[in-house]
Each structure stands twice: as structure tokens, then as C-alpha cells.
Amino acid sequence: MYKGFVVSKKIIGEDPHFLEGCSFCHKGDNRSIKKEDAHRDLISRPSKDIKTCESCHEGIAKKFKTSLHYTCYGLREGIIGRLSPEEVKTFDKNVFETSCRSCHASCGSCHVSSPSIAGTKLGLIDGHKFVKKDEGRTCALCHGGRVYPEFTGEYSGSADIHYQKGMVCTDCHKKDQLHGDGMLYRSMKEVKNRPKCTNCHKVGTEDTERSQAAHKIHKEKLSCYACHASGQYRNCFNCHAGKGAESKQGFYLGINPRDKKTFTTLRLIPTIRDTFKVYNIKMEKYDTLPNYWDTTPHTIKKRTDRTRSCDVCHKERRDYLTNELLIKNGSKANFDVIFKQKK
């Protein structure tokens, strides 16, 4: 047993990653007996440089280079629409590369050792074994701010029906999506093979005539989760660079800012006017984008208040985003996502 690293002779014999020895990935000097000499120029997390894994996994690594997990472009694109061209340059240099990009996933972040998130690190996933998947120690650690707690019921007290049925992240989010398909996307909304409810729940295969009629009437007008998201989900407020944000539970329904014909669930994103004030970024185009964006809550249920009664939406207008609920001093574009009842 290699003390501290939980690498046994059994693992070395079973896992082909160890065939070339530790130094193949970690470098250092494998001929030295003294620890100080052997560890000189040691690389503690080799997969931070994708070339390490690319030497054996060329096809996967080539696609992963353009994946959103690696580029973090989704974080960038959510911001730069509010910035002037000059502010984009400042953001890319002083914020994106030094902050956002520090969270990008390496191969080892999912398959060997849990990444460090906000100072929290769970260490090796399973004694330095190269693990195919472990949602609880990889997906949950990075996406535990909102997605995983929603999915498991930590927020609302009622877990997503898919979780209750024993499903895990990779049942919907396949490896081609996680590793990338070779295309350079600006956000997850652009990803061609992202999960869709209708991949499994085919329209026309509903159990009852009532369900068939409801889906037919609301087709292309409502997102699936506008009706089938059951519990509250996390929304973020007052985000400042270096100071973090305040989170609260909530549930908002309104117009999809990416598709004005669709009514959907909305999430408040943590971008206020002085978020990047410390970098002298005023966000000169702040009012061109809303603070509320379409979201897919991982709180899905077959039956919710909205599926049981039409009155919840059509008369009570429960959970609808209104002028009164908008954040103070928010974007002027927020008014565009408020559903206006036809008279």
C-alpha cells in the first residue's frame, strides 16, 4: 500500500492506468529513493493539462476541449451581453480567466479526485481508482448549489420523481453531452443532444384522455416544467464579486426570454448592476437582458397543483412573476418576461 494515496498492488494489477507507473502522469523522478528527490517537479493533479489524458484518450479529450465543462463559456455568455466591447476585454482578463475558468472540470475531477469547490474537497473518489461515474462525489459537488439539492428533495422536502424511481444524473445526461460532441457551444441551451422530456415521454402516449387534451392544448405554449415542476428552487440575490450572493427559495412563472411564445419557469440569476464594480465594470448594457431566465427545475412530478386544477393558472395566477415581485433596481428587460393577461 502506498501510504496516503491508497494505491494497492491489487489496483495496480487491475487498472490499466497504472501500467506505466505513477510518473507517467505525475512526473517527478521515479528512479530516486528519497521522497524529496522523487517528488521534485511533481504534478499533483495531472489532468489539469488535458494533454496528459489525451495521450491515451485522444478522441474523448479532443471533444472535451470544446465542451462546456471545460471551457465554462456558459458562465461567460451569461454576462457579456450586458457589457460594452471594452468591458468585455476587462471581464475576460480580470474575471473570466481568474475566477470563472478556475472552476472548469478536468478529466480527473470526475474520474479520480473530487474537485475543490469553495474550499470544500472530498479527496479521492475511491482510493485512486479511475471511476467511471459517481454522481454523489462528482456531479453533486459542483452542481450542489441548486441542481442536486432540488433533485434529491433537500429544498422542497419532496425529491424529483426521477430520483425517487432510482434514476441518476447520467440516465438523462449522457456521456456525449458531458464530454462534449466536438462543437463549441456558448451555453447549454445550444447543445444539440441535451436531455428533453419528450425523449422518454412521447406525446400521444399519455394514460388518460384528459392528459392528452391538456398536452395538445398547451403544445408549444408551455414548457413541460411549467406544469410539472413541483417544489421551490434556489434563486440568487445581491451577487458581488468577492462577496458571494444570498440565496432564497422561490417559484416564478413567466415568459421565456429566449422564446417569447413560451410560458415557463424562471430563475433569478445573481447579476445586479454593481456585481463587478470592484473591476470598474459598470455593465453599460445591463438593461438589455433580464435578471429572470428560463430554467429547468429538477423538482419534476407527474401531478402538481397546476396539473390538478386549471384554476391555479387561469384564475389564481399562482406563482406568476409580477411587477411587485421584481427585484429592486433590476433590469428594465424584466418587464418583458411578465405574462400579461389578454383582455
3-state secondary structure 120-156: ECCCECCCCCCCCCCCCCCHHHHCCCCHHHHHHCCCC
- Looking at residue 1, its pLDDT comes to 37
- Percent of the chain with pLDDT strictly greater than 70: 96
The sign of the CA dihedral 42, 43, 45, 46 is: negative
116-153 pLDDT, tens digit each:
776 667 788 888 889 988 888 888 888 888 899 999 99
CA distance 274 to 267: 20
C-alpha cell at 228: 410539472
Angle at 150 between CA 149 and CA 153, to 5 degrees: 80
- Looking at residue 99, its pLDDT comes to 81
- Looking at residue 71, its pLDDT comes to 92
How buried is residue 143: exposed, middle or buried, by Cβ count under 10 Å (0-12/13-18/19+)? middle
For residue 190, pLDDT over 80 is answered with: yes
User: Is the model more confident about 4 or about 342?
Assistant: 342
CB contact at 8 A, 300 and 228: yes
Mean local confidence (pLDDT), 182-201: 91
- State the DSSP string of 206-257: -SSHHHHHHHHHHTTTB-HHHHHB-S-EEEEEEEETTTEEEEEEE-EEEEET
Instruction: Select from 238, 233, 235 the least CA-distant residue to 271.
Output: 238
100-119 pLDDT, tens digit each:
777 788 999 899 988 777 66
CA distances from 271 to 124, 167, 313, 338 (A): 34, 33, 29, 19
CB contact at 8 A, 276 and 283: yes
CB contact at 8 A, 80 and 283: no
CB contact at 8 A, 281 and 242: no
290-317 pLDDT, tens digit each:
999 999 999 999 999 999 999 999 999 9
Where exactly are the structural domains of the chain?
9-44, 56-195, 200-343
- Residue 12's pLDDT band (cuts 50, 70, 90): confident
**126-138 burial, b for 16+ CB within 10 Å, e for fewer?**
eebbebebbbbbb
For residue 76, how far is the Cα from the chain centroid? 13
- Residue 182's pLDDT band (cuts 50, 70, 90): very high
For residue 165, pLDDT over 90 is answered with: yes
Contacts of 292 (CB under 8 A, 6+ apart): 252, 254, 257, 266, 267, 268, 269, 321, 334, 337
**145-180 burial, b for 16+ CB within 10 Å, e for fewer?**
ebbbbbbbbebbeebbebbeeeeebeebeeeebbbb
242-297 pLDDT, tens digit each:
777 788 899 999 999 999 999 999 999 877 898 999 999 999 999 999 999 999 99
166-179 pLDDT, tens digit each:
999 999 999 999 99
- Looking at residue 343, its pLDDT comes to 56
CA distance 317 to 67: 39
For residue 15, pLDDT over 70 is answered with: yes
- Looking at residue 2, its pLDDT comes to 46
- Helix (H), strand (E) at residue 259: strand 259-268
- Looking at residue 6, its pLDDT comes to 65
| Residues facing residue 181 across a β-bridge | none
16-52 pLDDT, tens digit each:
888 888 889 999 998 888 989 989 999 988 998 999 9
Q: What is the pTM of this model?
A: 0.88
CA distance 258 to 294: 8
Mean local confidence (pLDDT), 222-251: 87
User: Is the model more confident about 181 or about 13?
Assistant: 181
